[in-house]
Amino acid sequence: MNAQSLFDLERSELEEFLNDLGERSFRMQQIWHGAYIDLASSYDDITTLSKPLRATLTEQLPINTLEVVSTIESRDKRTQKSLFRLADGETIEAVLMLYDVRRTICVSTQVGCAIGCAFCATGKSGFTRNLSAGEIVSQVLHFARILASRGERITNIVYMGMGEPFLNYDAVMKSIRILNDHEGFNLGARSFSISTVGIIPGIERFTEEDSQVNLAISLHAGDDQLRTRLVPVNARYPLGPLMAACRAYVRKTHRRLTFEIALVDGVNDSTADAQKISRLLAGLMCHVNLIPLNPIPSSIFRPSSRERVDAFAQELINAGITATVRVERGLKISAGCGQLRERPK
């Protein structure tokens, strides 16, 4: 694991760190304001700090944990993907997506992924390690600085990049607390979305948080046999217990769940498949987000046609379930869901 950075600390932890250095409490506010409001990329940018303190902090509590290796932008300039090298040499990707009014960041939570979904490039790279809260926060702040240079601000953060967020639960939730902090970055809780493949202990733990953060479940199929083929972790967390956890979440929080379904041509996109999903979700306060599969190299799977996607959506709507087709960004630069992966170091 990497050495601790400034972005790994909540405000109370930063105050404690500075107290141990013999610094007065107002220094914490100066640093917090500089990092999360002024979006400083170096302690030298926080000129309210003395030069000796800047030097000490640079050595003991680094402010920048990511090196930008490369950035690619879609032809329409609406999507930007960056490859970052971490302090230990590992690499991750994150994406900025521009919509009419929203400015959304898709962040990674792990180096690689252990889930191994059949249609996901990240899973094919295997799992290396969890990211720290600071490494997650640093992805957000990188793009926040880019947007700030245009007079814009991040409106949404989705935990849908590389990795399974609920297998790195503590770091994910800590990163949200840091970015939600009202004296700093101050992004509202409802502007965050966590997507899980269905890690039941994580869903149960999140339910007890009673948080305003949005929760999405990557569902992909309405029966265990097909879902296990597409999402191998279903063998450990099958649909019966998963849906029980989802219904318990809605009962406790009174918040709507989102279910994501990547539609694969000839695999899970038939009328019968849609009917299975309808029965599974009957009576549950939810929204279904349909995603024509984003293609990855060497995969045997292909995206469903728009006609089949629309027919699938209509079947759900006829059953009283709200369903929409996701507007995808950056497919030609491999920045869509399931397309992120590590690159050579």
Domain assignment present for residue 228? The answer is: yes
Is the CB of residue 157 less than 8 Å from the CB of residue 189? Answer: no
Summarised one tens digit per residue, pLDDT across range 289-304 is: 999 887 666 667 888 8
Is the CB of residue 95 less than 8 Å from the CB of residue 79? Answer: yes
Cα gap 16→21, rounded to integer Å:
9
Counting the structural domains of the chain, the total is: 2
Summarised one tens digit per residue, pLDDT across range 254-295 is: 999 999 999 999 999 999 999 999 999 999 999 999 998 876
123-132 mean pLDDT: 86
Written as six digits, the tokens of 286 are 């939810």
For 101, other C-beta atoms within 10 Å of its C-beta total 6
Cα gap 27→18, rounded to integer Å:
8
196 with 227, same domain: the answer is yes
53 with 72, same domain: the answer is no
162 with 52, same domain: the answer is no
CA dihedral 194, 174, 98, 126 (to 10 degrees): -60
**Structural domain that includes position 15:** 6-60
CATH number for 208: 3.20.20.70
pLDDT of 248 > 90? The answer is yes
Secondary element (H or E) of residue 82: strand 79-85
76 with 195, same domain: the answer is yes
325 with 279, same domain: the answer is yes
List the 214-218 sheet strands across, edge first. Answer: 67-73, 79-85, 91-98, 103-106, 156-159, 192-196, 214-218, 257-263, 286-292, 322-325
Cα gap 93→143, rounded to integer Å:
12
Domain assignment present for residue 293? The answer is: yes
Burial (CB count <10 Å: 0-12, 13-18, 19+), residue 216: buried
Domain assignment present for residue 344? The answer is: no
142 with 51, same domain: the answer is no
How far the first Cα of the chain sits from its last, in Å, is 17
Mean pLDDT of the chain: 91
Written as six digits, the tokens of 80 are 């930007």
Domain stops at, among 60, 78, 98: 60
Give the pairing of strands 103-106 and 156-159: parallel
Domain assignment present for residue 338? The answer is: no
87 with 39, same domain: the answer is no
276 with 162, same domain: the answer is yes
Written as six digits, the tokens of 228 are 């296990």
35 with 111, same domain: the answer is no
Domain assignment present for residue 339? The answer is: no
pLDDT of 333 > 50? The answer is no
Q: What pLDDT is recorded for position 36? A: 98
Domain assignment present for residue 1? The answer is: no
191 with 307, same domain: the answer is yes
10-14 mean pLDDT: 96
Residues marked as catalytic: 93, 337
168-176 mean pLDDT: 98
Domain assignment present for residue 342? The answer is: no
Domain assignment present for residue 207? The answer is: yes
115 with 194, same domain: the answer is yes
Is the CB of residue 332 less than 8 Å from the CB of residue 75? Answer: yes
28 with 108, same domain: the answer is no
Phi and psi for 301 in degrees, rounded to 5? Answer: -85, 145
Percent of all residues in the chain with a pLDDT value above 70, rounded to a whole number: 92
CATH number for 39: 1.10.150.530
For 233, other C-beta atoms within 10 Å of its C-beta total 20
